[in-house]
Structure 1
Amino acid sequence: MEKYLDLILKSYSGYWNYLKYELIDLNHWDNFFYGLILISVLVWILEIAFPWRKEQALFRKDFWLDTFYMFFNFFLLNLIILIALSNTVAELFNDVLGLVGLSLSSFQLFNVNELPKWLGLFILFIVSDFVQWNTHRLLHRFDWLWNFHKVHHSIKEMGFAGHLRYHWMEPVVYKSILYIPLAIIGGFDAQDVAIIYFFNIAIGHLNHANLGWDYGILKYIFNNPKMHIWHHVKELPKGERFGVNFGITLSLWDYLFKTDYIPHNGRDIAIGFEDDDSFPQDFIGQSMYPAFSKKRKTPPSKS
């Protein structure tokens, strides 16, 4: 037990020191803090220059709430719980494997450092995105997970900052499910993660932005604003109780597994979910919502 307590304390102090370093050091390209700000500003400029819904306000509904979510979920949440929890669970998992004479290296299929750089990054990206696509489907399929995911779907106007409005339990679920697949790959470093991180953030921001783009033929590979808005549609299509268009960065999985749905231009569709008018409008209320929520009803569907 002392071992785990020490690990938790070191995780807190280590991440705090890392966060301070990120704030004051502008001399490395993989600075996550300023990278997030730069990508957010660039996508916001695109929204201003090429708005899809021209009547939507520059500071749309809940803009500042979503901005708070951006920094809370990507930085403060790590400091409060996520890094310490991740490190502790990983150590506990390794110790359990050790009791039966195994380690994560026993399951490692290959090491990306032994591959050409581009191939290692490609494998890391594809595996991560596919696992997250499946995790996203789980968030919609099971009521107790859906009650966490409702925070993200409570967005009433699409905008780049809405990308990072989600309940703090979501990254716990994503990281837990991703842990073993990434451990099986093994060997990637912080800069590998940064490259994929910045690319995914940019695509995710664009997906939620007030932009009417689909990238032409590339829409069958990359998720895009015209596709992702249908993921947020309030009235689900007939026969699709759990949603459509689950792609995170890639739309490819939706087309391969027949969960794609773009019936027409969705610029002005209503987004949200049934009874979302009674959903909490503030961060504390949204964070507490899953503890007091009920099982969902079957949502209305379009013919």
Structure 2
Amino acid sequence: MQDNPGEVYVRDMVIANNQLLILQESEEVSVRDLSVLMTELDSYYIHLNGRSVDRIKAADSVQLYGSATDIFVASREVEQSKYSFSSMSKSLDFNHNVLAYADEKLKLFDISKGKLELIEETDVGYSVNVKLQDDLLYNNMGFVFNTAAQVNKLDVVSAFGSHNISTTAIVQSDSNLYYLSSGELFAYDNSDPQNPLAIDKLVISDLNHPEIYYFTSLAVHQGHIFLGTSGQGLYHLYNDGSRITNLGSFGDSEIISSLHIVDSYLYQTYYGGLNIWDLSNLDSPLLAASYSEFSGA
């Protein structure tokens, strides 16, 4: 463990199969075993087709990497399949061997064979952010698509809210759906997944801190909302089903880059590395571990 928080910048992280994959600015990927005290299992560099990789997704044995104009299915640093775009890539999500990708258009890919095969695409809804939840696909505009349909998988089946291209994250937790933009957080009752109903909305000014300029990331567990900010660390909110309440902030004044919850732990990446918070007592998160260096097993 290092004391200097400026030695590493974490671009993205993903958790799958009880492993944590950390993508650093240097394009080194550190693979950690979550069950054995973050023991390093592997470490390798990603230089796919000379592109700068800035995002990572993983599930089961599939790993996806994204650059400004490409997405790759890869194993370690070995490229297996690539799809290129004419415009800047925005967001991707996948499950059940289906990949949803947004780069203004919305595209569906079959990745069951370890390569990217385009199924369908549409320019309805100006998609820059997507979330796959079972067979339903949500985009940043509040449009809902049914990917299980035999044909026309990207026809809009419903729409909700008043969202736009500023949506930066879409999170499903229990029976609630959350939409995050740089300055707003929306909570929905998602008991009927095709027709989310508004619960409450929180804006930056509600946090009463003049130095929070934008929200960066979001994770939710049992109604407890953990909100990353631009240089003021983590905020802890609670959704009781009728409104969002601010429970205060914790941690250092950091720029949070990503948040993930697994079991009762919150994994938080920031400019200086990774913090792991114990959420056994959701009312009082405790710092369980902190890492500012990931290379060198």
TM-score strictly above 0.5: no
| Structure having the larger proportion of residues in strand | 2
Q: TM-score, normalised by structure 1?
A: 0.23
Q: Which has the higher contact order (CA 8 A, sep 6+)?
A: 1
Q: TM-score, normalised by structure 2?
A: 0.24
| Structure having the larger proportion of residues in helix | 1
